Amino acid sequence: MTGPRVSGRRLVSPRSTWGWVAVACAAALAAAGGLAASGTGHRVVFGAALGAFAALLAVLALPSLSTRTTASLILALGGVVVVRHATRPGTGLTLIAVWAAATLFALVLIDRADLDERPRLASGPPLPSLVRETATSMGVLAIAVLFVASLFVPVLGHRPPPRLGSGDVPRSDLGNQGNTSLTQNDQLDTTIRPHLGNEVVMTVAAARPEFWRGETFDVWNGHAWTRSDDNHYTLPSLGSSTNLAPSIGTPTTGGKRLTQTFHIEASYDDVLFAAAEPVSVEGRLPVERPDGTISTFVPLGKGSSYRIVSNVPDATVDTLRAADSTAISLAIRSMYAQAPVSTARVRALAARVTANAPTTYDKVRALEDWMGAHTKYSLSAPVARQGVDVVDDFLFNVRKGWCEQISSSLVVMLRTLGIPAREVTGFVPGDRSKLTNEYVVRANMAHAWAEVYFPGVGWQAFDPTASVPLAGDAHAPQSFWGWVGDHALEIGGVIAIAGALLALGLFLRRFVNRRRARRVRSWAALRFDDLERLGSAAGRKRLPSETAPEYATALARVLDADGLRAVGFAIDADAFSPDGIGSDQRAAADAVLEHVGAKPRGS
């Protein structure tokens, strides 16, 4: 190795194998840096560049440690960074996969580079070329590691299924006091800015994603939502499951059943979340409100679980548009269609935007579209001053706000049009775990949205903050890449198993071919055996030192068959000449052997 010596070891030449190691380490640390950057709200490119630069600098120029140690420490550092940031929201498995591939690559290269520095066995064969060997190793290793990892994943990712009802003692003094979504509230003040953490508050095992509804509000006073009917009533429990009474406006037919098991990770929760509309609760004695939301008098602590069966409205655009032909009950109209506190320009705006919308559904969409075009989501939007109508301020002055202002504006505008609507709080579905298939819900996934009543269909959720599919359209065909992303682990497992089977097949084929090749003996070997048998029968065994021509010549004398000499030379020529002898020469030799009674085999 050439290069300046710096206190302990030479600087690594980028052209040596260590140069490739540096590149692989840089790729690994770049992936880790990108992950850290994305987790902390910085640009991925910035983190990746920083990681790559640090790795290159350390491997190529850090003189105080051996290159192998330095490279190993760099990989370990990358691993720690990945572990540290893999828990952050929005962490994609893509960067982790890049880190894993680069780490594997680096490990292979480090071992090779280390070996390259050792003296070679004198007169021994050179090591295979770096590119060929690394490519082969990486191919086989990737399959092997993926296969073994797929075996480990179910073990490492396994979490025992929660037992309904069990859990720690609920503690309201820990962690989630600020998260009002987990506790029952009499009002929803839209002038209080939410400060939500990243901690997991619950996981939900469900067949499909839904908004997990907690509470609804129907009375708007210009800055906060309250309920017109805050009564609770308990229901008789039949066995382990409690059937809920149909709430006001809930259709008794139609819809799709959805079973959800909620596992509480927060330290305190007294709201029982559920996809609308819940029909039964298991694991906790529920308290129901007239609006169909449920809570409990006995708060839940960390580790508590409950199961809810919901009847999710099976609505499509057509059914929602057709719902206008059905009359709205008086109870719904009196409770949810009353004009709320609003300003004249809000009412005028709602009327203007929906002037050309023929149906309730179209009016909702028109208002959503208008807000999408004229307002922006921002958690740092200025809070409305005391006495100012929040919806008016949001729609005409600030035009920036978070989900509570946005959804409140939609509900208020709908109500000014006489459309039954209400404000809803709860949680978005959460990130689906690819390992457990559960939806992981974090504190900062608390959300507010609107529910609009469609006669004959029931309450339908609309999320003006982000485009939300209708309940009936939620099962629309998924894109190919979306499906691939959701089933990445299964696909990886299948590829690993297929690869392993392919490798096993190739190995078996090679093994069988070798065995077969051993069994197939050449013409020369067979005739040599014939000669030896002939000689043994004649009492003249071959001496260990005798070649085929020598032995054939000796037999020719013993048996008085001069043609055998030619057989000996034919065997020699067939065995040792590059192309063997021709078929006519073999036939001639066979004829001689047959003539002397050797009965050549295999001819």
Tell me the closest approach of the beta carbon of residue 535 to other proteins, in angstroms: 29
Considering beta carbons, is residue 110 or 274 the nearer one to other proteins? 110
Considering beta carbons, is residue 124 or 387 the nearer one to other proteins? 124
| Maximum C-alpha span of the chain | 131
Do residues 191 and 409 lie in contact, with contact meaning Cβ atoms separated by under 8 Å?
no
Tell me the closest approach of the beta carbon of residue 141 to other proteins, in angstroms: 6
Structure tokens at 85: 């940031």
Structure tokens at 563: 């043609």
Tell me the closest approach of the beta carbon of residue 95 to other proteins, in angstroms: 9
Tell me the closest approach of the beta carbon of residue 496 to other proteins, in angstroms: 10
Tell me the closest approach of the beta carbon of residue 110 to other proteins, in angstroms: 6
CA distance 186 to 230: 8
Tell me the closest approach of the beta carbon of residue 136 to other proteins, in angstroms: 8
DSSP 121: P
Considering beta carbons, is residue 4 or 119 the nearer one to other proteins? 119
Do residues 292 and 248 lie in contact, with contact meaning Cβ atoms separated by under 8 Å?
yes
The sign of the torsion formed by the CA atoms of 195, 199, 201, 203 equals positive
Tell me the closest approach of the beta carbon of residue 184 to other proteins, in angstroms: 26
Tell me the closest approach of the beta carbon of residue 11 to other proteins, in angstroms: 21
CA distance 565 to 553: 5
Angstrom distances, CA of residue 333 to CA of 230, 321, 480: 18, 18, 44
Considering beta carbons, is residue 21 or 308 the nearer one to other proteins? 21
Considering beta carbons, is residue 237 or 437 the nearer one to other proteins? 437
Tell me the closest approach of the beta carbon of residue 460 to other proteins, in angstroms: 30
Residues in the chain: 603
Tell me the closest approach of the beta carbon of residue 42 to other proteins, in angstroms: 18
- The full 3-state SS of 488-518, as one line of letters, equals HHHHHHHHHHHHHHHHHHHHHHHHHHHHHHH
Considering beta carbons, is residue 91 or 187 the nearer one to other proteins? 91
> What interhelical angle do 548-559 and 563-576 show, nearest 10?
170
Considering beta carbons, is residue 104 or 470 the nearer one to other proteins? 104
DSSP 582: -
Considering beta carbons, is residue 125 or 239 the nearer one to other proteins? 125
Residues that bind other proteins (CB under 8 A): 68-69, 72-73, 75-76, 79-80, 82-83, 86-87, 91, 93, 96-97, 100, 103-104, 107-108, 110-112, 114-116, 118-125, 127-128, 133, 137, 141, 144-146, 148-153, 156-159, 200, 203, 265, 433-436, 438, 440
Residue of 299, 274, 294 whose CA lies nearest to 206: 274
Considering beta carbons, is residue 446 or 573 the nearer one to other proteins? 446
Query: Cis peptide before 368, with omega less than 30 degrees from 0?
Result: no
Tell me the closest approach of the beta carbon of residue 211 to other proteins, in angstroms: 20
Do residues 320 and 201 lie in contact, with contact meaning Cβ atoms separated by under 8 Å?
no
Do residues 171 and 389 lie in contact, with contact meaning Cβ atoms separated by under 8 Å?
no
Do residues 164 and 305 lie in contact, with contact meaning Cβ atoms separated by under 8 Å?
yes
Residue of 423, 277, 455 whose CA lies nearest to 359: 455
The one-letter amino acid at 517 = A
Count other Cβ atoms within 10 Å, centred on residue 235.
16
Considering beta carbons, is residue 302 or 527 the nearer one to other proteins? 302
Phi/psi of residue 536, nearest 5 degrees:
-60, -40
Do residues 464 and 407 lie in contact, with contact meaning Cβ atoms separated by under 8 Å?
yes
Considering beta carbons, is residue 100 or 364 the nearer one to other proteins? 100
CA distance 88 to 39: 6
